[in-house]
Amino acid sequence: MGLTTESEMKQIVRQIAAIDKRFSPVLENSELCTIGRKRSTRTHYEVLVTSILSQQLAIKAADTIRSRVIDLAGGKITPEAIAPLTESKMRTAGVSGAKFRAISELTHATLSGSIEFKKFGKLSNAEISQELTALWGVGRWTVEMFLIFHMGRLDVWPVGDLAVRRGWERLHKLKEEIEPAKLDLMGKKFEGFQSVVAWYCWRATELPK
């Protein structure tokens, strides 16, 4: 799957503006969406481990734990380097028992070949989600962030993400919180580039009220 060019992204932005004029303020006051425009230098495995480590943590705390795990792994997060690390060793880095289990399952699946990351480029979002969510501790949100920010998929609609909903509410001046199921329906009109819409919803949370 090729990268999205600047010209293609600008065309998507024009489509968003034409479909829903409420997006005009954030489209005009934000940089051009970066999803899918640059190839990731990190492996699928490393991104997923980092995502698991970061779950339910503030950015600073997550970065600290990630750095400690990298040190334990000898400088790089690979399945071969993570596999020998015991739970007690990982706990010294601040990794909880639940996260250790999730990382262990991911590591085993990677080394055994039950998950073949090399074929992910040819799989649909649903197929990738089915493979990853079969692992303990890997949920829908983790997979959606992986698809959007690592794989550069433009057609993901993460309605379970609180910030996406808050951004949508702000742009549409809603007085009540929108339910994920309702937002899911509202996003149908943006099919094909829903990730970009979500990206601008995130940016909308930073706009002055």
pLDDT at position 12 over 80: yes
pLDDT at res. 62: 92
Give 79's contacts (C-beta < 8 A, 6+ positions apart): 45, 107, 110, 111
How confident is residue 15, by pLDDT bands cut at 50, 70 and 90?
Answer: very high
Domains of the chain: 6-38+156-204 (1.10.1670.40), 44-150 (1.10.340.30)
160 and 197 in contact (C-beta within 8 Å)? no
Give 33's contacts (C-beta < 8 A, 6+ positions apart): 9, 12, 13, 196, 199, 200
How confident is residue 1, by pLDDT bands cut at 50, 70 and 90?
Answer: low
Nearest CA among 200, 198, 154, 197 for reference residue 2: 154
pTM of structure? 0.92
Give pLDDT tens digits for 127-182.
999 999 999 999 999 999 999 999 999 999 999 999 999 999 999 999 999 999 99
